[in-house]
């Protein structure tokens, strides 16, 4: 029996439009599951002209039947989670019986955010000695330090919040260690009493949502429920397969559904790779197809390429199919959701990277570290553009010929069918194939 499990994975450097695609598929979902990353993710859903930015709560939650699950692989900043819960409730979305949080989730605590900023500050001071040990441009949300604590056995999980005394003891112990480190950076130490007071209020709000998500999802699988896994970030930020350290703290590829939610990958029937019609990236690091002239501003403004989490202007570039090919391969992408094609309308020429060359020889994305990625030459194929606004088009055959040819090239190159073409930010703006 074919099951109803699918995953949505970002195939570039994040911000491909995963939120919109997850919302689209969630109409039929029983469970929508975040399984990795933290509130460095920013997923935007627009319904009836209202914008909903999601950071921790799954983007499918707006659909009445979908239950949002934050599974064990996600790290949680309670302040962000509670403000998201309160904002949704203020918008009339009652989360009672609609949100489940794993007790295995690790917490992002105030000292993680302070350490994230402190490391960035100190790296920034190094900028003159080497461009590669300067600032990374993290989101400043404490992601790297919280994941580091998880794997060095210094993390604190939601589980500890169940027994407040245990939490107080662990938090106090860890904060004292972290304050010593912060002191060496000459950064204001964390006030334990003040933070505990805040955390105690946040704890009360989230405890009713805490439940074993592993059992919940296994039962859902047995009952052939519709389960949708919502990926965050993009494969080019994966902690193992990115040009480290220009990475995020978690694995992003499909395999992290298994470690991050307990569902084996062979149970996933459909893996949607979300591919933006061009590329964007926030923060530092190599970006082979980056556009640095006036055209970058044109695309940035038209595409609204400003961070959902930090508001930073995103760097933009041409579609990099060498990188996306790798992302589709490593994540076993079965279907493509192609987004933001409307943003390219009006450009005279559109370029797409089909190969990398280093010192005259071909090199694949997987063989590149940051040094290779920053010095290689992208090989481009050029396409003629189209003038028409395509936002309101709902059938593939009604798209301008040059647009269709661009899309067909992508599909053939990736040897993966494009099944959804998103033509605008709103829920109804898409073409189904």
**Which residues are part of the catalytic machinery?**
15, 43
Binding status of residue 339 toward ligand IMO by CB under 6 A: no
Among 11, 72, 102, 138, binds ligand IMO (CB under 6 A): 138
- Per-residue interface string for the shown chain with ligand GDP, residues 293-332, x marking contact by CB under 6 A: ----------xx---x------------------------
Nearest distance from C-beta of residue 399 to ligand GDP, angstroms? 13
Q: Is 424 in the site for ligand IMO (CB under 6 A)?
A: no
Torsion 197-202-205-211 (CA) sign:
negative
Q: What are phi and psi of 2, to 5 degrees?
A: -75, 130
What lies within 8 Å, CB to CB, of 419 at 6+ separation is 272, 335, 336, 337, 432, 433
Q: Does 315 bind ligand IMO (CB under 6 A)?
A: no
Q: Is 20 helix (H, G, I), strand (E, B) or coil?
A: helix
Contact with Mg ion (CB under 5 A) among 42, 58, 303, 425: 42
The closest alpha carbon to 236, from 39, 413, 34, 15, belongs to 15
Instruction: Tell me which H or E stretch contains 24.
Output: helix 18-25
Residue 42 found at the interface with ligand GDP (CB under 6 A): yes
**67-70 and 99-101 beta bridge pairing:** parallel
111 SS3 class:
helix
Select from 18, 157, 178, 325 the one that contacts ligand GDP (CB under 6 A).
Answer: 18
**How far is 175 from 339, CA to CA, in rounded Å?**
43
Pick from 110, 262, 283, 317 the residue near ligand IMO by CB under 6 A. Answer: 283
Residues 17-46 that bind ligand IMO (CB under 6 A): 40-43
Task: Tell me whether residue 107 or residue 274 sits nearer to ligand GDP (CB atom).
Answer: 274
CA triplet 259, 335, 387: central angle to 5 degrees? 130
Q: Is the four-CA dihedral 216, 88, 303, 237 of positive or negative sign?
A: negative
- Would you give the binding string for ligand GDP spanning residues 383-422, x where CB under 6 A is met? ---------------------------------------x
Q: Which two tokens stand for residue 31?
A: 């469970």
The verdict on 15 binding ligand GDP (CB under 6 A) reads yes
Question: Is residue 4 at the binding interface for ligand IMO, with CB under 6 A as the rule?
Answer: no
281 near ligand GDP, rule: CB under 6 A: no
- Residue 421 binding ligand IMO, by CB under 6 A: no
For ligand IMO, give the closer residue by CB, 36 or 157. Answer: 36
Q: In this complex, which beta carbon is closest to ligand IMO, that of residue 25 or of residue 386?
A: 25
Q: Near ligand IMO by CB under 6 A, which window of 168-176, 228-236, 289-297, 389-397?
A: 228-236
Residue 8 and residue 29: Cα distance in Å, rounded?
Answer: 13
By a kind-dependent CB cut-off of 5 to 8 A, residue 137 interacts, out of Mg ion, ligand IMO, ligand GDP, none, with ligand IMO
> Which residue pairs, CB below 8 angstroms and at least 24 apart, start in 44-50?
44/19, 44/20, 44/308, 44/425, 45/19, 45/20, 45/427, 46/20, 46/425, 46/426, 46/427, 47/23, 47/426, 47/427, 49/426, 50/91
Query: Is residue 230 part of the contact set for ligand IMO (CB under 6 A)?
Result: no
Question: Among candidates 358, 355, 363, which has minimal Cα distance to 375?
Answer: 358
> Nearest residue to ligand IMO, using CB?
283
Element (H, E) at 409: helix 401-414
**214 versus 306: smaller Cβ distance to ligand IMO:** 306
Tell whether residue 26 is a contact of ligand GDP (CB under 6 A): no
Nearest to ligand GDP of 161, 239 (CB atom): 239
Number of residues that bind ligand GDP (CB under 6 A): 23
Alpha-carbon span 127 to 93, nearest angstrom: 46
Q: According to CB under 5 A, which residues from 282 to 341 bind Mg ion?
A: 308
**Rounded to whole angstroms, what are the CA distances from 253 to 11, 45, 141, 260, 265?**
9, 22, 21, 11, 11
Determine the interface stretch with Mg ion among 41-49, 67-75, 111-119, 405-413 (rule: CB under 5 A).
41-49
Distance of CA 359 to the CA centre of its chain: 33
Chain residues in the site for ligand GDP (CB under 6 A): 10, 14-20, 42-44, 46, 303-304, 308, 339-340, 342-343, 422-425
């Amino acid at each position: 029996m074919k099951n109803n499990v699918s995953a949505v994975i970002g195939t570039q450097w994040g911000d491909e439009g995963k939120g919109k695609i997850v919302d689209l598929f969630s109409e039929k979902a029983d469970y929508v599951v975040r399984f990795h990353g933290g509130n460095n993710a920013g997923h935007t859903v627009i319904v009836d002209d209202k914008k909903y930015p999601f950071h921790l709560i799954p983007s499918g939650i707006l659909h009445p039947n979908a239950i949002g699950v934050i599974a064990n692989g996600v790290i949680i900043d309670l302040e962000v989670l509670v403000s998201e819960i309160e904002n949704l409730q203020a918008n009339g979305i009652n989360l009672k019986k609609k949100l489940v949080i794993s007790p295995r989730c690790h917490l992002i605590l105030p000292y993680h955010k302070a350490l994230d900023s402190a490391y960035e500050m100190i790296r920034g001071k190094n900028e003159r000695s080497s461009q590669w040990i300067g600032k990374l441009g993290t989101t400043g949300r404490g992601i790297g330090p919280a994941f580091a604590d998880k794997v060095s056995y210094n993390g604190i999980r939601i589980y500890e919040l169940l027994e407040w005394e245990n939490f107080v003891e662990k938090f106090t112990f860890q904060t004292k260690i972290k304050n010593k480190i912060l002191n060496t950076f000459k950064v204001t130490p964390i006030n334990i009493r003040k933070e505990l007071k805040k955390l105690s209020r946040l704890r009360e709000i989230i405890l009713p949502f805490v439940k074993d998500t592993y059992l919940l999802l296994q039962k859902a699988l047995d009952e052939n429920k519709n389960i949708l896994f919502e990926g965050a970030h993009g494969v080019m930020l994966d902690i193992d397969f990115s040009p480290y350290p220009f990475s995020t703290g978690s694995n992003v590829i499909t395999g992290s559904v298994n470690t991050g939610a307990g569902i084996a990958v062979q149970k996933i029937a459909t893996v949607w790779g979300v591919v933006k019609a061009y590329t964007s990236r926030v923060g530092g690091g190599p970006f082979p197809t980056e556009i640095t002239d006036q055209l970058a501003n044109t695309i940035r403004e038209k595409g609204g390429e400003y961070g959902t989490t930090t508001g930073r202007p995103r760097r933009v570039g041409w579609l990099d199919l060498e990188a996306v090919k790798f992302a589709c391969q490593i994540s076993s992408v079965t279907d493509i959701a192609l987004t933001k094609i409307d943003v390219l309308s009006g450009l005279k020429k559109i370029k797409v990277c089909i190969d990398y060359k280093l010192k005259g020889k071909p090199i694949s994305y997987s063989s590149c570290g940051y040094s290779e990625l920053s010095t290689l030459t992208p090989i481009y194929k050029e396409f003629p553009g189209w003038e028409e606004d395509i936002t309101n088009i709902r059938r593939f055959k009604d798209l301008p010929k040059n647009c269709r040819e661009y899309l067909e090239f992508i599909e053939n190159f990736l040897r993966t069918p494009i099944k959804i073409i998103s033509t605008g930010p709103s829920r109804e703006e898409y073409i189904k194939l």
